[in-house]
Structure formats: C-alpha cells, structure tokens
Chains A and B, each alone.
Chain A
C-alpha cells in the first residue's frame, strides 16, 4: 500500500511539475473575454503579450519592457512565485525519485528512504499549497476577476475585458497536483505506516519483513519445482506437444541428481545471503533495544519455517514427477 502511494505521488508530482513549468513559460494567463467585439485573441502572459488574428492565424507577440522597467506588482510577484514553485516542484520530484522503493539507492536503510520521501513530500506540498503555486495562480486569477467585475459594476464596456487564460488554468492544475502529491507523501504515508513498514513485534509484520529474503532463498534452492509446475499447469500447449516430451522424460529420470547438484551450487550464495540478513537483523535489534530472549525465539522460528519450506518443496518435487509421467502417458507415448 505504501509503495503504491509512492508511485501515485510520483505520477502526480511529474505531471504537476510539468504543468507548472509549462504555465510559467506560456503566454495566455489572461485572454480577452468573448463579449468584447474583437476579431483577434489577445493573450497576456507573464513575459509576453500576444495577439492572434482569428482569420489568418498570424500571431504577433510583444515582449514586456525590460525587467527593471515599471511593472505592476501583480505581475512581478506572480513571476517570482511561479519560478519558486517550478524550482521546488522540480526538486521535489527529483528527490522523490531517489526515495522510490524500486530505485536501488540506499537499499539498506529503508528509514532514510522513507525520510527522503517525506522531505520531498513536504517540498511538493510547499510548492503546491503554501506559498507559490496555488496562491500565485489564484491570486492572479482573482486580480483578473476583480478588475473585470469592477469594470462591469461601473458599466464600463469600452476597452478590453479579460478572463482567465489556459496558462492560468494550467498553473492551478499543476499546483493542485503538487498539493495532492505532497499530501499523499506526508499524511497518507504516515497513516499507512504500519501496514508495510513492519514493526518487529507483531509476527505478521515479521513475516513481511522476511518474505523477500525467504523467497530468494527458496528460488535459489528449488527453482525447478516452481517453474516446472508452472509449465506443466499450462496444459498441453504447442510447446508440450512437440519437443518438451523428452524434456519431461529427462526430468523424471535425472531429478534426484539435479536436486543434488543444484543445492550444492546454490548453497554458498544462499548461506552468504542468510548471514548478511542475520547481521542486519541483529543490528536492527540492537538499535531498537529488543531483549535477547525474544531475538533467540525469533531466530528459531525463522529456521523452523525454512526447514518446513524445504521439506514442502521436496514433496512437491515428487508430485511433479508423478504429474510428468501422467502427462507423458496422455501424450500417447509407450502405449
């Protein structure tokens, strides 16, 4: 659940950062309203003012005066806010990528990874909500609205009246997305922290903690049983009908030998992995100050589980042999 939330937040962060950047550099923050009798679209942005003729499609753009010239306060502040929002959102997104579960960066320290996520969440939250994004775009929109409504109030219908352009909408959408992803990364990850992070005391979370290690060990020990059963359960497809009959036969003769050689070759790797795991486990226990007897009980339980797993797979190996023979007969061999 927590990892899913991370990906959702990453998705939102990517698109909203893109939206914010696009909104900053496009030129349609306000556009002339329909009810003004014009044959051209007048767009005003943060940097340029463009007039597009509706009929022949010629677009004429004019840059505002130099940065140091007199500008309305609204424009300058919106520029500053949007650029801040861009930087914060981009930084938050890039930082979030490092904190994602599927990226191999600081894999040994999940807490640090979690904190990276949290920091980027706060950054995105700030970018979206608190200061620049939403306030910038909404403030600009409000300014446009107030200007227009005051004109209407005074019954002034001359000159150009403006409404929000698509860049303004884009900015609002981007900041909303930033806000959402920041909220997901901070609040929701906090709410769901017990589901995945695994406190060591509950047996359920312990199994979760150890399940990746357990599965890898099982894979190296008995890879054949799993894939083979998967292959057989596919049924007599085109593969089974032609070549794999002899594969199955070979499998049934040489199965025991293959068990021997496989476990020998995989044993060293798995032992090494197990040792690393135990080291990490004891380090964790030292950090959390878990009492010694509890640790011993845990270790015993784990080794019991492993043993049972091993026996279980060997059993399924025999079942596999039976299945393969039956399949062979069904294919019409030797009858």
Chain B
C-alpha cells in the first residue's frame, strides 16, 4: 500500500483541483471578445460564461445578465453546465469518501484492506470528476475555436478563450493527478491475501485448508448428529 504521505499529497492536490473546478464553473469568463484582426473595440469588452454574459465598460462598470432561457441555450453550453455540476458533486463526494479512506484518519482502522479500498474509491471519484471537467472545458474550447475560424462569423463578433477555461484545465489536471495518487493506495495482491487471511481467521470456518474441508465433507451427516 502506498504510504500516507502520498495519499495526503494526492488528497490536497485533488482538493485544490475541486476548488478550482468550482471557481471555473462560477466565473463568467469562459469566452471573451477577441481583438484579433482589425476589430479594435476598446470601449466595451464582452465576455460570456456558463451562467451569465457580461459587458465591461471602459469606465469600470461591469454589466451582467443571466442567460435568459434554459431551453434555448446551445447544446455545448448545456452539456458543459451539466458536466461541471456533475464534476463538482463527484468531487464533493470524493472529498468526504477519501477522508474516511486515508491512512491519517482513525476511521475503520481495524480493517486496512477495506480502508485502502475506500481511499481508492475516493481516488476514482476524483478521476471521474477531473474527466468531467476536462470534457466540459475542452468541448467548450472546441466550440469557441470552431466559431472563431468559421468564415461566417463577423470579424468583430469573434470570441476567444477566457481565463475560466485555463482555470478549468488546471483544475482538471490537478484533480486527476490527486485522484491517481489516491488510487496508488490500492492494496497489492499479497496484502489482500494477508488481509483475507486475517478476515478468515475471524470466521468460524476452517475452510483455509482445502484438505481439511475435503475430509470433513463426507462425514457431514455424522457431524450434525
């Protein structure tokens, strides 16, 4: 089994990634207006996020408006929203589960194999959360790129990657890294065998030894009498 330090490192990486995921989901800067080409609009900077679109004036005011209708939104926006929410929820469950499974807590100490399996479950949850974030952010980025290079888009209505996308990528990689560190605590086969022996010892059966079992099976009837 991996040592406690690696687990702790993985946990804190994944925790940081989870916080980053929340930030990136809440930030409105998923795409921002591009100043490429000859479209130099300096008075207003537009940016758009999962939940609202904003316009920042050169006077320092920021105007934001929530997206109007849920059903009239683009497919990629809806999918990204759903994936981000799923990822945050997964990360939340992972935060709780892996605390139980980590070696630095006393919960469930008497059964180390089960404990390390819980840690692995937390790690897997973090991995899934990171994958969800990665999918959402990359999909959105693909869409932004597609629209940018689409010749039908007017030049002054082009958007490019916003800061939330980069935060999202960083968060996804942190979460996945932390999750894989937590997954390193998977019990190796030898340890599992040892643990199972320990478990079997704690049962009334003596099925440990196959020959004993074989010898006991023909005289089953006599035994019960």
A residues with a Cβ closer than 8 A to B are 56-63, 101-105, 216, 219, 223-224, 226-228, 231, 244, 246-255, 257-258, 262, 265, 320, 324-325, 328-329, 333-335
Contact = CB atoms under 8 A, between A and B. Distances in A.
B224 A224 contact: no
25 contacts: A56-B65, A58-B65, A59-B63, A60-B63, A63-B60, A103-B104, A103-B105, A103-B106, A104-B105, A224-B202, A227-B203, A228-B204, A246-B220, A247-B207, A248-B205, A249-B216, A249-B224, A251-B204, A251-B206, A253-B212, A255-B206, A324-B204, A334-B224, A334-B225, A335-B224
Contacts of B223: 249, 252-253, 328, 334
B189 to A, nearest CB: 20
B76 interface: no
Contacts of A228: 202-204
Nearest to A323: B204
Given A104-B103, A247-B205, A257-B206, A59 B224 contact: no
Contacts of B201: 223-224, 258, 262, 265
A333 B217 CA distance: 13
Interface of B: 4, 60-66, 103-107, 110, 198, 201-207, 212-213, 216-217, 220-225
A154 B106 CA distance: 64
B202 A227 contact: yes
A224 B220 contact: no
Given A59-B64, A61-B62, A246-B220, 15 more contacts: A57-B65, A58-B65, A60-B63, A61-B63, A102-B106, A103-B105, A228-B203, A231-B204, A250-B207, A253-B212, A254-B216, A324-B204, A333-B224, A334-B223, A335-B225
Given A59-B63, A324-B204, A334-B222, A253 B105 contact: no
B204 A248 contact: yes
B65 A334 contact: no
A105 B102 CA distance: 13
B208 to A, nearest CB: 8
B106 A250 contact: no
A333 B203 contact: no
Given A219-B110, A334-B223, A105 B216 contact: no
B106 A329 contact: no
A254 B64 contact: no
B220 A247 contact: no
Contacts of B202: 223-224, 226-228
Nearest to B209: A254
B201 to A, nearest CB: 6
Given A62-B60, A251-B204, A325 B224 contact: yes
A250 B207 CA distance: 7
Contact of A104 (B106, B206, B207, B224): B106
What 4 A-B pairs have minimum CB-CB distances, sorted nearest first? Answer: A251-B204, A334-B224, A223-B202, A254-B206
A36 to B, nearest CB: 22
Contacts of A244: 205
A57 B61 contact: no
B106 A57 contact: no
B113 to A, nearest CB: 15
Contacts of A325: 224
A246 B204 contact: no
Nearest to A332: B224
Contacts of A253: 206, 212, 216, 223
Contacts of A246: 207, 213, 216-217, 220
B57 to A, nearest CB: 9
B115 to A, nearest CB: 12
A42 to B, nearest CB: 14
A250 B224 contact: no
A60 B63 CA distance: 4
Contact of B204 (A62, A105, A224, A335): A224
A201 B70 CA distance: 69
A247 B224 contact: no
A224 B203 contact: yes
Contacts of B103: 104
B184 to A, nearest CB: 19
A103 B8 CA distance: 12
B56 to A, nearest CB: 9
A99 to B, nearest CB: 13
B205 A328 contact: no
B81 to A, nearest CB: 18
Given A223-B201, A320-B204, A333 B220 contact: yes
Nearest to A222: B202
Given A249-B223, A329-B224, A102 B63 contact: no
